[in-house]
Amino acid sequence: MGYRVSRVPEDGEKITFANGKINVPDNPIVCFIEGDGIGRDIMTASKRIWDAAVAKAYGGTRRIAWMEIYAGEKAANLYDGDYLPEETFDALREFKVGIKGPLTTPVGGGFRSLNVSLRQTLDLYACVRPVKWYRGVPSPLKQPEMVDVVIFREAVEDVYAGIEYEAGTPENEKLARLLREEFGAEFFEGSGLGVKPISAFGTKRLMRQAVQYAIDRGRKSVAVVHKGNIQKFTEGAFRKWCYELAAEAFGDQTITEDELWDRYDGKQPEGKVVIKDRIADIMFQHMLLRPAEFDVLVAPNLNGDYLSDAIAAEVGGVGIAPGANIGDEVALFEATHGTAPKYTDKDVVNPGSLMFSGVMMLEYMGWWDAVQIIEAAYEKTLAQKVVTYDFARQMDGAKQVKTSEFATALINNM
Ligand code: NAP
């Protein structure tokens, strides 16, 4: 396919899929979106780290062929004001794997979030957030090493589906009339109205990814987080469909928590993942007081959003929390924080969130040796107390460095 602005690297090959399995060549083309605000600083630093780890791990036999694609302000400059050019979607569809820095979303009407648009248009239905503690990272918990979970948050349904009607508009009044007159619903005059669709299809494909991940990575349990006690036909149905999927698709590799106690006296049998569920509000308490009891979490969109940031805050906060949006073939890895505009081009922020999103990407590609090199070098750098400002203000005796200097220190520790 021809691209008007982006350039396809000549020395790279496409990542492909066959029967649902990824096939990564030694010189894969990987797309990157630099991002707005602090995006340039953290993308430059992180690419240096990923490239150095891959070179170190494979002695030059493997190398990522980077292809820059555009979204946000940089795209608007290159594509006559278009913040999310069609060519960007085409490249992600063609090359399958990408990584992005943060993008600005102006508050207020008339401008849909670029991040939400990317997820919806490419049907990247699973927002995956691993949250674990690395030795040396400042944490408010007494035992942060207990936190090691991976959250699978549904990303295209629920209140994020964008079905909302502003108070006072004809659409809102029509819907309000229907709800009152046909269904006997009661609510205040002049209410804004939103619809929260949650489907069996959307729920089950998310749960399939989560259970498969738990099996592939030897995780012990998958906990479905929901508010089904109140919203029975959306959140409650989400819970029900998750259990159904686990039984239908992974019946011989999973057991429910009830079965664990009724049939196995609470002792988890070898090779079985336990499927359990928790109500969303108590889950926040569990993740503070008993985080070791949880492993893979599955949640609808809004609860998953809150939960991801809250758990990330336990082990270093948004500055280092990584994330990915994963569909059936296309995967887009991303920093989970925003553009932090006051720090633009100051070379001061923590590149950790984007860097660890790239670590997730290397895992997804099966390049585990490079993953281990980065993780080990990261812990070594933190042990030397070499950190960016956000960690320095929480640590005694820290040596505060710039974003680029942190990358250099980490590479020197590989
Ligand atoms: P933000 O950009 O995440 O920044 C909030 C604060 O978080 C910063 O002021 C900074 O705290 C801290 N922070 C963020 N990234 C950091 C890093 N790499 N290292 C260290 N500290 C970091 O959130 P915001 O100010 O609410 O949003 C700004 C813009 O980003 C908005 O346009 C929003 O729509 C957009 N946004 C984009 C995404 C995305 O692209 N995925 C996500 C969220 C928000 P201190 O001030 O304490 O230093």
Residue 135 pLDDT exceeds 90? no
User: Under a CB-based contact definition with an 8 Å cutoff, are residues 356 and 322 in contact?
Assistant: yes
Catalytic amino acids? Answer: 160, 227, 281, 305
Helix (H) or strand (E) holding 193: strand 193-194
| The pLDDT value given to residue 104 | 86
- Tell me the backbone φ, ψ of residue 400, rounded to 5 degrees: -75, 130
> pLDDT by residue (tens digit) across 181-230?
999 999 999 999 999 999 999 999 999 999 999 999 999 999 999 999 99
User: Under a CB-based contact definition with an 8 Å cutoff, are residues 45 and 406 in contact?
Assistant: yes
357 lines ligand 1 (CB under 6 A): no
| The pLDDT value given to residue 197 | 97
| Nearest residue to 387 via CA among 406, 412, 407 | 406
pTM score of the predicted model? 0.93
HSE of 256 in the Cβ direction (CA atoms, 13 Å)? Answer: 15
Residue 316: pLDDT band (50, 70, 90) is: confident
User: Under a CB-based contact definition with an 8 Å cutoff, are residues 233 and 196 in contact?
Assistant: no
- Burial class of 21 by CB neighbour count within 10 A (0 to 12, 13 to 18, 19+): exposed
Which of 160, 318, 355, 395 to probe ligand 1 with, by most ligand atoms within 8 A of CB?
318
| The pLDDT value given to residue 318 | 76
410 lines ligand 1 (CB under 6 A): no
> pLDDT by residue (tens digit) across 53-68?
999 999 999 999 999 9
HSE of 292 in the Cβ direction (CA atoms, 13 Å)? Answer: 6
Which of 337, 344, 394 to probe ligand 1 with, by most ligand atoms within 8 A of CB?
337
State the distance from the centre of ligand 1 to the C-alpha of 103, rounded, in angstroms. 10
Average pLDDT over residues 103-127: 82
